[in-house]
Amino acid sequence: MPTRPISKHAPIFLVGATGTGKSEAAMELARGYARKSGAAILEMDAMQIYRGADIGTSKPTAAERAEIPHGGLDLVEFGAGFDVAQYLQHAATFLRDQREAGRRVIVVGGTGLYFRALTQGLCEAPQGEEELRAELNALSVEQLQARLKKVDPGMLERIDRANPRRLVRAIEVKEATGRSLREWQEATPEPLVREFAAFWIQRDKEELAERIAMRVEAMFARDWVEEVRGLVERHGLEAVHRFPGIGYREIGEMLKTGTPTEAATWEKVKSDILVATRQYAKRQLTWFRREPNLREVMLSGTQPFSAALPFLP
């Protein structure tokens, strides 16, 4: 990632897996800019947009939201439909308002699709069927190149032909839709954010696992079970079961016939949530590993974000 200065109005992105300390880094950075000319934080989390799902989605505290203006939070009722296009609409308004107020915006979160849509535009090319993707992923780079040359030779000249992921994507779009990925990309609107700095916050594998475990324990200590109970009472058990946020379905199941008192039973629930969270973190790492224009920042322990980064935009 280049270290040349960017415009004082350009957003700064902090991305990474759950548990890496993105939110703490965002507050640290925002406080620094707030002392200069003002700062705001735009959350980039597909679960934090739901009202009432606070503890299990690790929303900023009331004190943090009072200190620094936040966007991307509590946009819709729990259980309501919401998509990336709606998020972009909200982000566009929030970014414009903060720019007019002279505030620097820190965009923080782990939802890779939101990051891609904000910085690359929202390409509507669909995914191929799972069977097709499995078939393509089993092919060598040379075989993928030959297949793409056969179905979409022009696209082969436009992409990194040594990158199997790019080859698979180009083939699946062409074979699934009959249209070249180039056509889909050309129809993609200009990205909302064109100039930005983006940092990928990382942790050692063992440390991240420990932080995730502490995170899950802290959520339960903050009465996560009572939060889910309230959601069940207001929206129904079925809505909680459908909610994609990790842990809500598992806790809802426990509440279906009353709250068990056996500690071992709740430990099993915590264990299941911990495993699911670690699996999600792994998927996030895979996603951001594919994203361009990210500068990796390795943190350790309680090390401040600024201490690990010699250059601040």
pLDDT at 14 over 90: yes
- What pLDDT sits at residue 1? 41
Percent of the chain's residues with pLDDT above 70? 94
Identify the burial level of 124 via C-beta atoms within 10 angstroms of its C-beta, where 0-12 means exposed, 13-18 middle and 19 or more buried. exposed
Are 209 and 274 contacting, i.e. CB atoms less than 8 angstroms apart? no
- What pLDDT sits at residue 230? 96
Q: What are phi and psi of 137, to 5 degrees?
A: -65, -20
Question: Bigger pLDDT: 24 or 5?
Answer: 24
Cα–Cα distance for residue pair 166/220, rounded to 1 Å: 41
Average confidence (pLDDT) over 132-136: 88
What does the block give as tokens for 45? 């989390």
The domain locations on the chain are 12-122+192-204+289-308, 130-186, 206-283
pLDDT band at 10 (very low <50, low <70, confident <90, very high): very high
- What pLDDT sits at residue 261? 59
Q: Which residues have a Cβ under 8 Å from the Cβ of 155 and sit 6 or more positions away?
A: 148, 170, 174, 180, 181, 182
For domain 12-122+192-204+289-308, give the CATH superfamily. Answer: P-loop containing nucleotide triphosphate hydrolases (3.40.50.300)
Are 292 and 119 contacting, i.e. CB atoms less than 8 angstroms apart? no
- What pLDDT sits at residue 185? 72
pLDDT tens for each residue of 153-163:
998 887 777 77
Classified as helix, coil or strand, 39 is strand
pLDDT at 52 over 90: yes
pLDDT tens for each residue of 110-124:
999 899 999 998 877
- What pLDDT sits at residue 64? 97
Residues in a beta bridge with 298 = 202
- What pLDDT sits at residue 311? 62
pLDDT at 260 over 70: no
Classified as helix, coil or strand, 261 is coil
**Upper half-sphere CA count for residue 50 (Cβ side, 13 Å):** 23
Which range has the worst mean pLDDT, 53-57, 140-144, 174-178, 258-262? 258-262
CATH numeric code, 130-186: 1.10.20.140
Q: Which residues have a Cβ under 8 Å from the Cβ of 175 and sit 6 or more positions away?
A: 128, 132, 151
- What pLDDT sits at residue 4? 52
Taking the CA atoms of residue 209, residue 265, residue 48 and residue 67 in that order, the dihedral angle to the nearest 10 degrees is -80
Residues in a beta bridge with 42 = 71, 107
pLDDT tens for each residue of 191-204:
999 999 999 999 99
- What pLDDT sits at residue 3? 45
The candidate with the shortest Cα–Cα distance to 109, out of 14, 250, 199, is 14
The candidate with the shortest Cα–Cα distance to 285, out of 202, 165, 197, 213, is 202
Q: What is the pTM of this model?
A: 0.80
| CATH topology assigned to domain 206-283 | Helix Hairpins (1.10.287)
pLDDT at 246 over 90: yes
